[in-house]
Amino acid sequence: MPETYKPIKLSRGKKVAFLMGNEACSVAALHAGCRFYAGYPITPSSEVAAVMALKLPQYGGAFMQMEDEISSIAAVIGAAMTGVKAMTATSGPGFSLKQENIGYACLCEVPCVIVNVQRGGPSTGLPTQASQSDVMQAKWGTHGDHPIVALAPSTVAEIYEYTIQAFNISEMYRTPVILLLDEVLSHLRERLEIPPLDDTEKRLVNRKTPTVKPKDFKPYDTAFGDVPPMAAFGSGYRFHTTGLIHDEAGFPTERSDEIVPLLERINRKIKSDDPKLTFWREFYTDDMTSLVISYGASARVTKRAVELARKQGKKIGMLHLITLWPSPERLLARLVRKVKKVFVVEMNMGQYILEVQRFAGDSVKVKPVNRIDGRLFEPADVLKEIVK
């Protein structure tokens, strides 16, 4: 960030706070180095913007409330082009509106973080109630073949942790990262232990910047691997950025020998099961005869249901996914093929179950456990289904 905005002196030690999910998300973004936020008011993500408006200037960053959802993501991408870490937050209807520019960030390889606090849909849906029905939209919402990373935390502490990871991944791979929260988590207050800022800053990742002379610089130079170094506007490197299919120098092209390598590279750089972006937990998977898969707020309830089932002597294991996209293919295949029956617990009509089914042969039954009325599951609801 240039010196235009002056940060105040912040205390840097370990802290303990009692925070709402949305508040933890904003604080984590600030600690991850986010210095630009643009957003448009939408329930249930409002607190993310409110905290950013309050705190960003203190960190030497800039907050903008834009005129709509589309301009919010546009401003975030614009800011990211100047070398700044940037974020926006929204919910279902706003996430729909942002899709075109998310595709722009995918193709132009602009690091940024998009928080989607999911609420019931379709359309205006259930603005104040929870849902996990944007899981497929996170992957397929924008047009064209593109890679995406989506993380789904399940506690306030995880929101803090994976917001930082979201920024790290976005910088590491020059990609937009979607943080999928939901209304329950976002408004849930929990105790949060915040590590000293020095410790957090040590593990932050910043995008690679070019080392070549400006005249030799190409913004998509594959000589540096699948993730090319990224120059900031105003840093002495002059280059073109376009949402058209472009060559390594960043200029529009219609040549087959330039189109194909670009599309293959941007899709190749985000790899399934890449340990740097794949996060999950397994419980009781050693001796399991059936497996329950869940993520986000549903995973908390599922964990309790699995523990209750274990007390009844049922050999049920659990896979708690945090990285939903790219789907961890080897992990899913390994666990799903161990059992005869798999349950996928999610607050939608069955979305991630489609991914799980890709890895289940004919011998594995994959059953949905769904809730779509805007309320979180009760452990008993899940238990009843998985011990049937």
Give the span between the Cα atoms of 313 and 328, in whole angstroms.
Answer: 29
- Looking only at residues 366 through 385 of this chain, which bind another protein when binding is defined by CB under 8 A? none
Cis peptide preceding 326, ω within 30 of 0? yes
Q: Tell me if 285 contacts another protein by CB under 8 A.
A: no
* Element holding 386 (H helix, E strand): helix 379-386
Q: Tell me if 23 contacts another protein by CB under 8 A.
A: yes
Give the count of beta carbons closer than 10 Å to the beta carbon of residue 17.
15
Tell me the site size for another protein, rule CB under 8 A. Answer: 67
Q: Which residue has the tokens 């870490």?
A: 85
Give the span between the Cα atoms of 18 and 174, in whole angstroms.
Answer: 33
Cis peptide preceding 153, ω within 30 of 0? no
Smallest gap from Cβ 181 to another protein, in A, equals 17
48 vs 309 by CB, closer to another protein:
48
Mark residues 81-110: x for contact with another protein by CB under 8 A, - for none.
xxxx-x-------------xx--x------
Q: Tell me if 77 contacts another protein by CB under 8 A.
A: yes
Mark residues 194-213: x for contact with another protein by CB under 8 A, - for none.
x-------------------
- Looking only at residues 324 through 363 of this chain, which bind another protein when binding is defined by CB under 8 A? none
* Element holding 85 (H helix, E strand): strand 85-90
Give the span between the Cα atoms of 63 and 56, in whole angstroms.
Answer: 6
5 vs 283 by CB, closer to another protein:
5
Q: Tell me if 265 contacts another protein by CB under 8 A.
A: no
Alpha helices in 82-155 (DSSP H): 92-108, 135-140
Q: Which residue has the tokens 């999950």?
A: 280
Give the count of beta carbons closer than 10 Å to the beta carbon of residue 88.
32
Pairing of strands 126-130, 280-283: unpaired
Q: Tell me if 15 contacts another protein by CB under 8 A.
A: yes
Q: Tell me if 251 contacts another protein by CB under 8 A.
A: yes
Smallest gap from Cβ 330 to another protein, in A, equals 36
Residue 379 CB partners (closer than 8 Å, separation 6+): 301, 304, 305, 308
Q: Tell me if 48 contacts another protein by CB under 8 A.
A: no
Q: Tell me if 2 contacts another protein by CB under 8 A.
A: yes
Q: Tell me if 188 contacts another protein by CB under 8 A.
A: no
In contact, 296 and 179? CB cutoff 8 Å: no
Q: Which residue has the tokens 């593990």?
A: 203
222 vs 235 by CB, closer to another protein:
235
In contact, 297 and 376? CB cutoff 8 Å: yes
Residue 363 CB partners (closer than 8 Å, separation 6+): 340
- Binding part of the chain for another protein, among 29-37, 276-284, 298-306, 375-383 by CB under 8 A, reads 29-37
Smallest gap from Cβ 300 to another protein, in A, equals 23
- Binding part of the chain for another protein, among 77-85, 302-310, 338-346, 351-359 by CB under 8 A, reads 77-85
Give the span between the Cα atoms of 317 and 118, in whole angstroms.
Answer: 27
Q: According to CB under 8 A, which one of 62, 148, 178, 364 is a site residue for another protein?
A: 62
107 vs 318 by CB, closer to another protein:
107
Smallest gap from Cβ 78 to another protein, in A, equals 3
Q: According to CB under 8 A, which one of 79, 113, 306, 383 is a site residue for another protein?
A: 79
- Binding part of the chain for another protein, among 178-186, 233-241, 309-317, 334-342 by CB under 8 A, reads 233-241
* Element holding 305 (H helix, E strand): helix 296-311
- Which residues lie near another protein (CB under 8 A)? 1-2, 4-8, 10-11, 15, 17, 23, 27, 30, 35-36, 38, 50-51, 54-58, 60, 62-64, 66-68, 70-72, 74-84, 86, 100-101, 104, 194, 232-244, 247, 249, 251-252
